Amino acid sequence: MLFQGSHNNFPNSFIGIGNSLFKKSVGQGEEIFDLYVFSITEPISINAKTNYLLPMLHPQVIVEQYASISTHFNGAGNVSGKAERTFCLSSDRSLSRGDCIIRESDRLVDQTYLPDIAAKHKHEFSVGKDADIVYKENATLVSSFSLNTTTSLHDFITTSKPLTYEINLSVKNYKTNRAVKIDYQKHMFSSSIKLVTSNANITLENSIIKYTTILEANEEKILTYTFEITNRYIGLTIHTLSIHGLLDSFRKKPIASTSDLRVLANVKIYSNLAEIIQPLGKLPIEFSSEDWNNIRSDSVTLVGNNVTITQQTLTEKKKSLNNAQVYVRAPSSSNTETKFVKATMIDEKHNLVKIIDKDISKEPIFFTAQPDHIVYENEPPQTKYYVNFTYDTSDAVYLSYLRSNLNWKTRYQLNLFENVKPATLIAMADIRNDGQSKVDIESAELLGGDINLQMYGVSQYMPTSYAKVSDSYSEAAGGMAGPPPPPSVGQGEEVSGLYVFAISEPISIDAKTNYLLPMFRPRVTVERYASISKYFYGAGNVNGKAERAYRLSSDRFLSSGNCIIRESDRLVGETSLPDIAAKNKHEFSVGKDADIVYKENATLVSSYTTNVTTSHYGVKQTRTQSTYDLALTLKNYKNRPVKIEYQQRFHGQSLKLIKSTTNFTQDGSTIKATFTLASDEEKTTSYKFEVVN
C-alpha cells in the first residue's frame, strides 16, 4: 500500500515510483484522512540495491501554454526582462507530488516539480525564460502625500501615505511564425491598492494587477495604467505530478537497431547534458560504473508509439569475491623480508581473510588485511548496473536516458571593420564528449534557450583536445575523389520558446574531445559608441573614462555563448552573449576607452525635508526633495569623431528633469543624452533636476 500526501511519519518501507506512460497496475488513489492510498494489486519482490518501478494512474490532463510576466513592484524606475515559458496543468484525478519531465514534439524541453494537486485544480509552473518575448516597464511617481492619524493605542500616530504611479508597459513578440498568449501580473506589497486608469483590459485582483493579451508574430503592444497604493505604518508587518510523467506523443523515424551503447542513434544535446534515444537492444541492459555515474538514473525509460511499460527495475550488482583465492602479505613478514601467502577472502567488505601460516599456527587464522596488502590473481570484478523492462507494444521501442558527459555550447567570433564592409558573426557549435570512450552519433540536435534540466554530478566542461570538422575531413580526403560532405548545423527551429539546431550528418567524437561544427552565419548590425553609464550619489565632482560599447542585433535567434571580438583583424575584447531574439538589440561593453573622458560637477541648489512618524516609538521617516545643477564636460582625444551615449541613473521615489542646455531627456529614473564629438573636441553642457528620496 502506498501513501501520498502531506504527513510527517512516512514509513520508509513503502516507496513508490510511477510513470504516467504505464498501465494501471497500481490501483486508483483512495482518499483517507486527507491522504491518498494506492494499492498494489499483486505481491512484489524487490532485490537489494534495486529500484522497482510500477505503472500508476494515467490521468486525462489539460495543459495550456503561455508566456508569463510576473514581477513585484519596487517603486519608480525602469525594468526590463524576458517572459517565462509557463504551463497551466489540470487533471481529472488527484496527482501526488513528484518530478515531471516535459516533452514537446519529441524533444525534452524541461522539467519541474509537481506538488500534490487535487483533481480538476489548476497548477501553474514556469520552466525558463523565452528570449523571444521581451518587456519593458517605466514606472513614474505621479503624486505623493502623507496623512497622520492618532490611534487610541498609547496615542501612537498612524501614517497613511498614498502614492500614485503611472506605468508604461511595452511587450514584444519576436517570434516570426506564431502568435503567443501573454499573461502579465504585477504584485503589490501595500495596505491598499486602487487601479485608477488604464488604456487596456487591465484588472485588479486582490493585490495583483493583471493583463492578458495575444501577441501576433513580430507584434509589439504598448499600454499605460495608473494606480494608487497606500502604505500605513504603526510597526506594521507586511505579510508578505507523485508522478514521473512524460507529456508527449512520441513519433520516431525508423532507425536500424543496435545494441552497442557507444553508437548513439538519436541524440538531443543540451548545455549541460544530452538525451540519448536508441533502439532497444537485448534485455537486461548493462551499464558499467563509468557509464552509470554519468547517467541520471530516474531518466531511463522506454519511448515509442503505443509502448506501455508494465514493470521496470534498476539493479546494482557486483560479483562477490567472498571465498575467492587471493594472496596477502603474511603477518610474519618483516621490514626486511615480505612474504605473501595464499588466502581465502571471507568478507571482501572488511577485507577479512583466512590463511594458514605455519610460523604462527597450524590452524587457520583470520585477520583483516590492508587493501594494499592484497594481491588478486585476476582483475577484481567491478560494479555493474542493469536496467530491465517488461512492456507491451507492437511497434518499435527505443531506450531513452540522460547523460551528463555529452553537452554543447556556442562559440562566437564577431569581426568588425573600419570601412563600409559589414560586420560578420561566426558561430560554432562546441560539442564536448567528456566521457572515457568514443561516441558515434547517427542523428543529433542541439537545443538552445533557457532550459532548467538538472543533472546530478555534472562533469566539468574542461577542454582536453579539439577536433574541428574541417580538419578531419581534409585529412580523410587525401588521394580520394568526392569525399562525403562534412556535417553542418542547420537553421534554428523554434519549439516552445527553445531553439532546435539539427546536425546534417552522422558524427563521431573521441573521448575527452571538443568537436566544433560551423553553425549559421547570421546577418548582424553592430553599432559602436562610447558609453557613460553611472549612478548619481549626490553633490560633488566625478570624473572617469567612457566604456567601449557595442549594440548588436541579428536577423535570427542567437543562443547564449562566449564571443570573441575582433576589429581590423585584431582581438579587442570578449563578452558573454545571452539568448538574443531575432531583431532584438543587445548592448554590451568590453572595457574603458582612455581617449574619451568626462567630468561632472553636481551642485546642490536647494533642499527641504518633511518628517513623518512611521512607528509606535516616534521613529520618523525623512522625505527629502533636492534640486541639483549638474555641469558635464566631455572630451574626445581621438583623431576621429565619436558617438557618446550618456546615462545618469537615480535611486529615489521620483525624478524630474527641470531644464537642460542640450538634448537631455528623462526616461523613468534615468536622464539620457547622446552626443557626437569631433576629433579632439571638448564639449560642456549642463542640466537641472529634482530628486525625492
DSSP assignment of 612-672: EE-STT--EEEEEEEEEEEEEEEEE-SSS-EEEEEEEE--SSEEEEEEESSS-EEETTEEE
| Closest alpha carbon to 471 in 505, 426, 432, 516 | 516
Q: What percent of the chain has pLDDT over 90?
A: 47
How buried is residue 542: exposed, middle or buried, by Cβ count under 10 Å (0-12/13-18/19+)?
middle
Determine the Cα–Cα distance for residues 175 and 67; give it in Å rounded to an integer.
12
What pLDDT score does 420 carry?
79
349-358, 392-401, 466-475, 607-616: least confident range: 466-475
Contacts 24+ apart (CB under 8 A), 25-34: 25/54, 25/55, 25/310, 25/311, 26/2, 26/54, 26/55, 26/56, 26/57, 28/57, 28/93, 29/4, 29/57, 29/93, 29/94, 29/96, 31/94, 34/5, 34/6
What pLDDT score does 491 carry?
84
186 half-sphere exposure, CB direction, 13 A CA radius: 27
What pLDDT score does 413 carry?
96
What pLDDT score does 263 carry?
66
What pLDDT score does 342 carry?
87
Tell me the pTM: 0.78
Q: What angle do CA 129, 135, 138 make, to 5 degrees?
A: 140
Q: What DSSP designation does 350 have?
A: T
What pLDDT score does 459 carry?
38
Q: What percent of the chain has pLDDT over 70?
A: 83
In order, the DSSP letters of 39-77 are -BSS-----TTEEEE-------EEEEEEEEEEEE--SSE
The residue ranges of every structural domain in the chain are 1-58, 61-233, 257-290+394-518, 327-376, 525-692
Instruction: For residue 166, give the amino acid letter.
Output: E
What is the distance of C-alpha 466 from the center of its chain?
Answer: 26
| Closest alpha carbon to 654 in 51, 15, 143 | 143
Is residue 678 predicted with pLDDT exceeding 90?
A: yes
Dump pLDDT digits (tens) for 419-453: 778 999 999 999 999 988 899 999 999 999 988 88
Query: Which residue's C-alpha cell is 510576473?
Result: 70
In order, the DSSP letters of 126-178 are EEEEEEEEEEEEEEEEEEE--EEEE-SSTTPEEEEEEEEEEEEEEEEE--SS-
Mean pLDDT of 160-173: 88
139-148, 154-163, 633-642: least confident range: 154-163
What pLDDT score does 584 carry?
95
Phi, psi of 225 (to 5 degrees): -145, 155
Query: Which residue's C-alpha cell is 516616534?
Result: 618
Is residue 89 within 8 Å of 140, Cβ to Cβ? no
Q: How far is CA 421 from CA 78, 470, 525, 572, 643, in A?
A: 36, 26, 11, 18, 19
Look over the chain and give the mean of its residue pLDDT values, rounded to a whole number. Answer: 83
Dump pLDDT digits (tens) for 257-316: 334 556 677 899 999 999 999 899 899 999 988 889 999 998 999 988 888 899 999 998
Is residue 483 within 8 Å of 539, Cβ to Cβ? no
Is residue 254 predicted with pLDDT exceeding 50?
A: no
Phi, psi of 399 (to 5 degrees): -90, 135
Task: Select the more confidently predicted residue: 641 or 504.
Answer: 641
Strands (E) across 280-396 are located at 285-288, 295-303, 308-317, 325-329, 340-347, 352-355, 365-368, 374-376, 384-392
DSSP β-bridge partners for residue 576: 562
| Closest alpha carbon to 275 in 102, 518, 462, 525 | 102
Alpha helices in 180-296 (DSSP H): 289-292
Is residue 525 predicted with pLDDT exceeding 90?
A: yes
262 half-sphere exposure, CB direction, 13 A CA radius: 10
Determine the Cα–Cα distance for residues 506 and 427; give it in Å rounded to an integer.
20
Dump pLDDT digits (tens) for 443-499: 999 999 988 887 764 334 444 445 554 443 334 334 444 556 778 888 888 888 899
Is residue 198 predicted with pLDDT exceeding 70?
A: yes
Determine the Cα–Cα distance for residues 386 and 383; give it in Å rounded to an integer.
10
What pLDDT score does 517 carry?
94
Question: What's the pLDDT band for 149 if we cut at 50, 70, 90?
Answer: low
Dump pLDDT digits (tens) for 544-559: 999 999 999 999 999 9
Q: In 10 A of CB 371, how many CB atoms?
A: 6
Dump pLDDT digits (tens) for 203-212: 999 889 999 9
Determine the Cα–Cα distance for residues 66 and 87; give it in Å rounded to an integer.
6
| Closest alpha carbon to 317 in 382, 379, 390, 388 | 382
Mean pLDDT of 377-386: 86
Question: What's the pLDDT band for 69 if we cut at 50, 70, 90?
Answer: very high
Determine the Cα–Cα distance for residues 107 and 277; give it in Å rounded to an integer.
10
DSSP β-bridge partners for residue 365: 355
In order, the DSSP letters of 164-191 are EEEEEEEEEE--SS--EEEEEEEE--SS
State the cell numbers at 181.
Answer: 498568449
| Closest alpha carbon to 575 in 404, 396, 414, 359 | 414
